[in-house]
Amino acid sequence: MPPFPNNIYLLALIGALLATGLSVPFWRSLCQRWNWVDDPGHRKIHSTPTPLAGGWALFTGLSVVLIGGCLAIAARWIEPTSLERIAYGLGKRAPQLIAIVLGAAGMLAVGTCDDRYELKAWVKFGAQFLIALIVAAAGVRVTLFIPNVAFSYAVTILWILTVTNALNLSDNMNGLCAGLAAVAAFYLASFAARHGQYLVAAFGFLLLGALLGYLPFNFPRASVFLGDAGSHLVGFLIAILSILPHFYAERHDATNRLAVLNPLWALAIPLLDVAQVTLYRTLTGKPFWIGDTNHLSHRLARTRLGKTGAVVVLWIAALAIGSLTLF
């Protein structure tokens, strides 16, 4: 069978980049009109009210390309062999894809409510847990090497909650969350493409394109923020993207069990950050869900690097560690 055409990956990336970038001004204007802004204050690094438009722009970009892709498939605008493989894959993954889309919308809604009403920690965590449970029930689950359904559910839910909140916590400086997510999306999508997992790869490049379309509006100077809506959406989608690929299979050409560590390499910086800040807060007697300025980015920014330099250093570190997924 011929290899899956890379131009479809490129179309997904460019389409999401353009759709997201073009939608930012619309959502920015709407957020300003409705006063959906992040005001300066305690622990804030910005000095003027900034629209929380990033999450909705990302969701718009992803949705436009997904709908366009579905129309292209229905109209049979894709090369026949590729069309047959895509249709087969979508048929096999339909329940999972529906759950992922609904989960993304749910995370966006939870984050939007948190932006507007500052939800209590247990309410937000409970909503995240419910969404993770629904996705796991649809079949998007971590399997590893233990054939136990309860174990699979537990690990999947824990992973989704951990990654979602790790990227949510990393949204503390311009460009940091979106940049780290873009690095992870690139490596995970590349892995899936190299191993013939074309639907997962297309999803990864789609997400990468949306993040790249948003970043110029957020770094180095920000005219929009992700807000909790955006960081919840990004964290959830990256968590899902890290679950979907088959990193290990019992075949003569795929017997390296260490391959299951690839998501850890791709997400090393946000996971390390959430681990160290949680440990610090616990040791100092503070609730781990109460924010502070002791993230890796804050510590680096207090050096001569400054805020922009701190973000760039963390991007470079993420790129360097994530490159382990290539080997």
Over residues 127-156, the pLDDT tens digits come to 999 999 999 999 899 877 677 899 999 999
- Phi–psi pair at 189, nearest 5 degrees: -65, -40
177 pLDDT more than 90? yes
How many Å apart are CA 128 and CA 160, to the nearest integer? Answer: 9
Q: Mean pLDDT across the stretch 171-177?
A: 95
The confidence score (pLDDT) of residue 73 equals 81
Residue 57 has pLDDT above 50, yes or no: yes
Sequence-distant contacts of 135-139: CB under 8 A, at least 24 apart: 135/99, 135/100, 135/103, 135/160, 135/240, 136/160, 137/99, 138/95, 138/96, 138/98, 138/99, 138/100, 139/95, 139/96, 139/99
Whole-structure pTM value: 0.92
Note the pLDDT tens digit of each residue in 237-259.
999 999 987 655 544 444 466 77
Of the ranges 38-52, 69-83, 98-112, 259-273, which is most confident? 98-112
**What does the alpha-carbon distance between residue 132 and residue 153 come to, in Å, rounded to a whole number?**
9
Domain count, the chain: 1
Rounded mean pLDDT, 208-212: 98
Express each pLDDT in 183-200 by its tens digit. 999 999 999 998 888 889
35 burial type by CB count under 10 A (0-12 exposed, 13-18 middle, 19+ buried): exposed
The answer to whether residue 47 scores a pLDDT higher than 70 is no
Would 299 be classed as within a structural domain?
Answer: no
Q: Is residue 84 part of a domain?
A: yes
182 in a structural domain: yes
Q: Quick check: is 317 in a domain?
A: no
Confidence of residue 205 (pLDDT cuts 50, 70, 90): very high
Give the model's pLDDT for residue 312.
97
* Domain assignment of residue 168, yes or no: yes
Contact 241, 207 (CB under 8 A): yes
The pLDDT of 3-22, averaged and rounded, is 90
Average pLDDT over residues 165-187: 96
Tell me which residue range forms the domain holding 107: 6-250
pLDDT 10s digits, 92-121: 788 899 999 999 999 999 999 999 998 999
pLDDT tens-place string over residues 289-306: 787 888 999 999 999 999
Angle between helices 54-74 and 6-33 (to 10 degrees): 140
Q: Is residue 293 part of a domain?
A: no
Query: What is the pLDDT, as a whole number, of residue 83?
Result: 73
Average pLDDT rounded to a whole number, residues 59-66: 96
Asked, for residue 319, whether it belongs to a domain, the answer is no
The mean per-residue pLDDT over the stretch 164-168 comes to 96
Q: Mean of the per-residue pLDDT values for the chain? A: 89
Give the pLDDT score at 45. Answer: 59
270 pLDDT exceeds 80? yes
- For 222-236, what is the mean pLDDT? 96
C-alpha distances (whole Å) from 161 to each of 115, 128, 199 are 18, 7, 24
For residue 251, the cross-strand partners are: 254
Percent of the chain with pLDDT over 90: 68
157 and 125 in contact (C-beta within 8 Å)?
no
How many other CB atoms are found less than 10 A from the CB of residue 67? 11
- Whether the per-residue pLDDT at 89 is higher than 90: the answer is no
**According to the model, what pLDDT value does residue 41 have?**
58
Q: What is the pLDDT of residue 56?
A: 97
